[in-house]
């Protein structure tokens, strides 16, 4: 469906839980989680995806919190698969070693796995206790299962050239693309200490590899892509770039049924009851949210917590 500015909105991201097993320093993950009755059920999420399909959407991404914490998530994927959208997930990868195969069998097409560091200690510190070995085992199991894998790295002041090199070498060893994401100001205290302009990531990479611009066909999101001399596809995503708003094709739904038309806006629509009322009502409320999308984001409106809407 076209929004008020002629953009074709065909990609929906749905958070299936606000809970998480990590507490990344920049994510402002909330510890007071929603009571179960306020979280969308699998049937409700199916309503959203069916309504989105009717409105011409092509792709759905399940996210969180940590989506793999949602019990029987593979059953949700199996319920969504017949609708016909391409199904993806963003995950911290911790539980992938046990869930990759069931998720692939259920119809999941791909996973974006967050990997900020290969270095075990830095990884543990940024995630507040996560073990990088478990995430790497998860990535390998996803590849073995046949899932398409991409890596997401939030670029921070902790990253040294050596860390960047290790991440690129890891991507090369698994032949998977990696995207460096600039921090969005979601948590005031840790944000200023961790923030670093994404242009510095490109500069740091220039110290150990040559990169050529990659021409991307179709809509591959807001990333600007390059290929290293070793053939690794590398994306850079800046948090505030008015140019990328022209290509925005997304709508986000939080796990309690609030629709967010734009990540950099305070606009939102409480759609919990409408979603529960069935596909027709859900279609109406999704259409309303699409028409609420602003022409571009506002850097002063930082919107919801990342753990509510899943990035
Ligand atoms: N738990 C899953 C994960 O970590 O991949 C899914 C949810 S997480 C909120 C989705 C993505 O948002 C992750 O790649 C994470 O690194 C990123 N993210 C979280 N907080 C961010 C922030 N303040 N700025 C930029 N990206 C952020
Ligand atoms: Fe959890 Fe993902 Fe937020 Fe990290 S970024 S705390 S893994 S939701």
Q: Is 263 in the pocket of ligand 1 (CB under 6 A)?
A: no
pLDDT of residue 97: 96
Stated pTM of the model: 0.95
Ligand 1 atom nearest residue 66's Cα: 1
Any idea which of 190-204, 217-231, 240-254 has the lowest mean pLDDT? 217-231
pLDDT of residue 220: 54
pLDDT of residue 263: 87
Terminal CA-CA length for the chain: 22
pLDDT of residue 309: 67
**Rounded distance from Cα 66 to ligand 2 centre (Å):** 6
CA distances from 140 to 93, 135, 143, 147 (A): 10, 9, 5, 10
Q: Whose CA is nearest to atom 4 of ligand 2?
A: 24
pLDDT at 218 over 70: no
pLDDT tens-digit readout, 83-138: 999 999 999 999 999 999 999 999 999 999 999 999 999 999 999 999 999 999 99
Average pLDDT, the chain: 92
Whether 264 and 298 have beta carbons less than 8 Å apart is answered as: yes
**Rounded distance from Cα 61 to ligand 1 centre (Å):** 13
Residues with CB under 6 A from ligand 2: 20, 22-24, 27, 29, 64-66, 92, 114, 306-307
The stretch 52-79 carries a mean pLDDT of 97
Q: Using 50, 70 and 90 to split pLDDT, how confident is the model at 50? A: very high
Ligand 2 atom nearest residue 310's Cα: 8
pLDDT at 224 over 60: yes
Q: Is 308 in the pocket of ligand 1 (CB under 6 A)?
A: no
**Rounded distance from Cα 28 to ligand 1 centre (Å):** 10
**11-309 in CATH: which number?**
3.20.20.70
**Rounded distance from Cα 29 to ligand 1 centre (Å):** 10
DSSP string, the chain: -B-TTS-B--EEEEE--S--S---TTTT--SSPPPGGGSPPHHHHHHHHHHHHHTT--EEEEESS-GGGSTTHHHHHHHHGGG--EEEEEE--TTHHHHHHHHHHHT--EEEEE-S-SSHHHHHHHHTS--HHHHHHHHHHHHHHT-EEEEEEEE-TT--HHHHHHHHHHHHHHT--EEEEEPPS--HHHHHHH---THHHHHHHHTT--EEEPPPPS--TT-EEEEETT--EEEEE-S--HHHHTT--EEEE-TTSEEES-TTS---EE-HHHHHT-HHHHHHHHHHHHHT--SS--TT---S-HHHH--
pLDDT at 163 over 80: yes
**Rounded distance from Cα 66 to ligand 1 centre (Å):** 10
**Rounded distance from Cα 299 to ligand 1 centre (Å):** 18
pLDDT tens-digit readout, 2-45: 999 999 999 999 999 999 999 999 886 566 789 999 999 999 99
The closest ligand to the CA of 183 turns out to be 1
| pLDDT, greater one: 144 or 302 | 144
Q: Using 50, 70 and 90 to split pLDDT, how confident is the model at 47? A: very high
pLDDT of residue 188: 61
């Amino acid at each position: 469906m076209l929004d008020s500015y002629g953009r074709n909105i065909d990609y929906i991201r749905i958070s299936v839980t606000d809970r998480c097993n990590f507490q990344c320093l920049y994510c402002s993950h909330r510890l007071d989680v929603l009571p179960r009755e306020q979280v969308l059920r699998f049937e409700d999420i199916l309503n959203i995806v069916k309504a989105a399909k009717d409105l011409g959407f092509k792709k759905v991404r399940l996210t969180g919190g940590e989506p793999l914490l949602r019990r029987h998530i593979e059953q949700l994927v199996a319920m969504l698969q017949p609708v016909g959208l391409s199904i993806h997930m963003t995950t911290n990868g911790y539980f992938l070693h046990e869930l990759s195969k069931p998720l692939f069998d259920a119809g999941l097409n791909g996973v974006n796995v967050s990997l900020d560091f290969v270095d075990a200690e830095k990884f543990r510190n940024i995630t507040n206790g996560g073990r990088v070995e478990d995430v790497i085992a998860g990535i390998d199991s996803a590849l073995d299962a046949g899932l398409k894998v991409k890596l997401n790295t939030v670029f921070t002041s902790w990253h040294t050239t050596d860390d960047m090199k290790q991440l690129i070498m890891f991507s090369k060893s698994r032949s998977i693309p990696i995207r460096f994401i600039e921090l969005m100001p979601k948590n005031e205290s840790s944000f200023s200490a961790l923030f670093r302009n994404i242009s510095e990531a490109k500069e740091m990479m220039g110290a150990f590899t040559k990169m050529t611009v990659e021409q991307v066909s179709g809509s591959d999101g807001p990333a600007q892509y390059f290929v290293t001399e070793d053939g690794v596809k590398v994306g850079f995503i800046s948090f505030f770039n008015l140019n990328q708003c022209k290509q925005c094709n997304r709508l986000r739904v939080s796990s309690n049924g609030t629709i967010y038309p734009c990540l950099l806006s305070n606009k939102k629509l409480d759609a919990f009851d409408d979603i529960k009322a069935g596909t027709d009502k859900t279609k109406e409320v999704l259409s309303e949210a699409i028409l609420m999308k602003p022409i571009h984001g506002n850097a002063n409106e930082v919107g919801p917590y990342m753990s509510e809407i899943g990035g």
